[in-house]
Chains A and B, each alone.
Chain A
């Protein structure tokens, strides 16, 4: 028998909700240290004294050595594009960066594109995800040298690092 959609009876559906919005994630020291650094326009990573790797944003444990990353080190504001992607044209009300709508707040114009980028800041062994700004997407390449863009008045929060731009 051929499949005829309009002859199928409608299945009974129940509205259901899965309200899981109320977690309290524990972040002693780790996040606090990092955002305090951002307030001073510093990128503070954790360093493993076992293997010397520097991880940023910082992590407490080195899985390779299975030991605490006790060291703290400030890495450069300059870095290199490891990889990047160009977004579709941005529409108002479609997504949020740091909890705000970038179009509605006037940060970017509707119809322009964003360039989410993995940046390896000099001195770090891990990548930070941030936005590549002030550049035509056609001009971006892997290996491009970039530097951090800071908020005018850093508040000690993740959005203090606005993004990076070509040097």
Chain B
């Protein structure tokens, strides 16, 4: 990148089921805390980009009533109808354009307001899939999981091991929703079965939560903080609708990662990255993500789990925060990955800190079976 942009402040809620706060209160708290974290105030912000969906917010043009809470009153403001990691991309571009110096990015969902899997049903093709009525985000994920497991000799134990890793990691993350320090593979395999092989503990929980971060141009970032987290690379890619693509691979994630690596000058991601935070809405997705990120060969994702490579004390930790399996406030989930990655680089991840983390990858996704993907490479000074 010609110009550089850094994360200079961040905040996230204590994600949970059925948070007893209005949407505005929840958003206000993270926006305010992110500004405090950066040591700036509302008047310093040039532009605000939020992320949520009208469906999940339960109102159309859902930013109408949010501007006051997020701090966008009488400011340049826009909203993206997808993950907050994409909102961060628009904020990044606004700063790179030279029009703005400091941006506040915010994303949220109160998933307990309205079942997000029901929302996902309405993203399906109304002429065929919705008429037939068999598909939803969980059954589609189950189809993908079965296909992937069959092709690559992956067992249900492998999926359970992903959940155990992430939910045990989450036990040391105070912001996570599902924190299970003593979880076993057997407990995961005994959890409620939805669509085989997707179980309660191999899919993400329904969470209420919000996340905010402050981006600044290089010049302003150096004024604001001694510990800027630089955005070294970014890539995003949108695949075809789920019936028209190869569900065995996350091709759009592969493309997004390649673009991000290229921008960041990364040629060997496995050895050049210190920690990775991904949005795995289902346990099998994490294995597919390893492959799409080019960390291992295709179909070999399970080896990382078998050999403990991605454990918190492994060679390349993935989701030390617990990932999406530990908390999934839908539109905030990818932005939370960015915050968790930034925390690792600043050495502020407390109980789930990876020692010496200098360069991190954060991933967000949107759409059934991870149709759209976005990848960031973040680095310290």
Residues of A within 8 A of B42 (CB): 66
Closest Cβ–Cβ distance, residue B169 to chain A (whole Å): 29
Residue from B21, B31, B58 within 8 A of A23 (CB atoms): B58
B130 proximity list for chain A (CB < 8 A): 16
- Chain A positions 1 through 45: 1 when the CB is less than 8 Å from some CB of chain B, otherwise 0: 000000000000010101010111111101000000000000000
Q: In the complex the two chains form, what is the Cα distance from A14 to B42 in whole Å?
A: 49
Say yes or no: is B271 at the interface (Cβ < 8 Å to chain A): no
- Beyond A23-B114, A60-B28, is A14–B126 a contact (Cβ under 8 Å)? yes
Residue numbers in B under 8 Å from A30 (CB-CB)? 22
Contact between B71 and A63, CB atoms less than 8 A apart = yes
Q: Is the C-beta of B32 less than 8 angstroms from some C-beta in chain A?
A: yes
A146: CB under 8 A from chain B? no
Q: Is the CB of A24 within 8 A of B114?
A: yes
Interface string of B60-77 (1 = CB under 8 A from A): 000000011101110000
CB of A48 to closest CB in B, whole Å = 11
Q: Is the CB of B58 within 8 A of A61?
A: no
Restricting to A66-103, which residues have a CB under 8 Å from any CB of B? 66-68
A138 at the B interface (CB under 8 A): no
Query: Are A26 and B22 in contact, with the CB atoms below 8 A?
Result: yes
Please give the distance in Å from B293's CB to the nearest CB on chain A: 36
The reply to whether A26 and B19 form a contact with Cβ atoms under 8 Å apart is yes
Q: Is B186 among interface residues, defined by CB-CB distance under 8 A?
A: no
The CA-CA distance from A59 to B73 in the complex, in Å, is 14
A58 CB, nearest partner CB in chain B, Å: 12
**B69 / chain A contacts, CB cutoff of 8 Å:** 61, 63
A63 adjacent to B55 (CB under 8 Å): no
Q: Which of A24, A63, A67 has the most CB of B within 10 A?
A: A63
Check A26 against B20 for contact (C-beta < 8 Å). yes
Neighbouring A residues of B31 by C-beta, 8 Å? 66
Decide if B131 is an interface residue (CB 8 Å cutoff): yes
Residues of chain A touching chain B, judged by Cβ–Cβ distance below 8 Å, are 14, 16, 18, 20, 22-28, 30, 59-64, 66-68
Q: A14-B126, A20-B55, A66-B31 are in contact. List 6 more A-B contacts (CB 8 A).
A: A14-B127, A18-B122, A23-B114, A26-B113, A60-B25, A68-B28
